[in-house]
């Protein structure tokens, strides 16, 4: 059976049997930097090991927006993939963010990511130029044809400027290498219709919507706050999958302050502040992002406390 089924009554696998091509708990990893804002490849390796071995992640996204991909060079992106693949590639799936507003550049980055050791690709909707739906379909098909790697499509219209409409998602799901969606559209009804009509594995792209999306057939999350609350988020997902909706709801409510609070400013800013507080590799952000203020860090600590997560009161 193909991923896509034409028509609203088309069959597909039941939610419990929906594939999990990249596991269930995924974090979009920040890119550690040195004090002079060069990529810290040793820190990249150590942070990847921490997230996989101590925080229990099934997969990591590197070179995503949380990894400050708009400010890293193509050469740096390849080096980051190699470092993470060498550190944890035998224990976790590595997805490389390769999306750009240019199809040709995205295809080139996809091929470079495959050569560097990525296990899959995260491909965001082309941003700023706002292509029509036919252009989006052609874009994703071209990237999917460029390598043998499975693809997770990233639907985030509040950043890209254009949503992937239901019919477009159904069309691209017919491609054998387009297997998953990172869903940050915030439209549960639209997502439910795509899940009804395809076998695409849906991953929440908004930490706080993990449980609501699980309830309509999603399989996991690609998180940001999960740098700091990986085990708790894994427990939430596991509880729901095991049929304990009550425990899943309690964990959902418990984690809400951190799942939402990490986005009080741009995610990399507060994640890196939190990681520095824990003594983990992070370093500064690159401009045009700026460092978290003392007040922002104090609020992050309060959000962590409210979520049952420990974070030192003093910023590193």
Active centre residues (catalytic): 154, 182
- Joined tokens for residue 123: 């491909």
**Among 27, 20, 17, 3, which residue's Cα sits nearest to residue 229?**
27
Nearest to 230 by CA among 83, 27, 5: 27
Could you please report the per-residue DSSP string of the chain? --SB-SSTT-----GGG---BTBSEEEE----B-TTS-B-HHHHHHHHHIIIIIT--SEEEESSGGGTGGGS-HHHHHHHHHHHHHHHTTTSEEEEE---S-HHHHHHHHHHHHHHT-SEEEEEPP-SS---HHHHHHHHHHHHHHSSS-EEEEE-HHHHSS---HHHHHHHTTSTTEEEEEE-S--HHHHHHHHHHB-PEEEESSGGGHHHHHHTT--EEEESTHHHHHHHHHHHHHHHHTT-HHHHHHHHHHHHHHHHHTTSS-HHHHHHHHHHHTT-S--PPPTTS-PPPHHHHHHHHHHHHHTT----SS--
């Amino acid at each position: 059976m193909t991923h896509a089924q034409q028509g609203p009554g088309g069959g597909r696998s039941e939610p419990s049997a929906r594939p999990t091509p990249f596991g269930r708990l995924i974090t979009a990893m920040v890119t550690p930097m040195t004090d002079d804002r060069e990529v810290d490849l040793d820190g990249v390796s150590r942070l990847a090991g921490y997230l996989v071995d101590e925080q229990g992640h099934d997969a990591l996204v590197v070179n995503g927006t949380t990894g400050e991909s708009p400010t890293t060079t193509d050469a740096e992106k390849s080096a980051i993939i190699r470092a993470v693949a060498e550190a944890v590639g035998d224990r976790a799936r590595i997805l490389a963010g390769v999306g750009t507003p240019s199809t040709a550049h995205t295809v080139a980055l996809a091929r470079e990511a495959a050569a560097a050791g990525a296990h899959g690709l995260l491909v965001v909707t082309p941003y700023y130029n706002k292509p029509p739906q036919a252009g989006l379909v052609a874009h994703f098909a071209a990237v999917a044809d460029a390598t043998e790697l499975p693809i997770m499509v990233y639907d985030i219209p509040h950043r890209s400027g254009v949503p992937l409409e239901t019919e477009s998602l159904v069309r691209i799901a017919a491609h054998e290498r387009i297997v998953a969606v990172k869903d940050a559209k915030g439209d549960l009804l639209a997502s439910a219709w795509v899940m009804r009509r395809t076998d695409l594995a849906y991953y929440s792209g908004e930490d706080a919507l993990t449980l609501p999306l699980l309830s309509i057939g999603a399989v996991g999350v690609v998180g940001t706050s999960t740098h700091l609350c990986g085990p708790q988020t894994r427990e939430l997902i596991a509880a729901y999958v095991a049929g304990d909706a009550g425990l899943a709801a309690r964990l959902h409510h418990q984690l809400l302050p951190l799942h939402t609070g990490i986005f009080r400013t741009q995610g990399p800013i507060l994640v890196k502040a939190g990681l520095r507080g824990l003594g983990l590799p992070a370093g500064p952000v690159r401009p045009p992002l700026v460092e978290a203020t003392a007040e922002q860090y104090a609020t992050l600590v309060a959000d962590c406390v409210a979520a049952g997560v420990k974070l030192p009161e003093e910023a590193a």
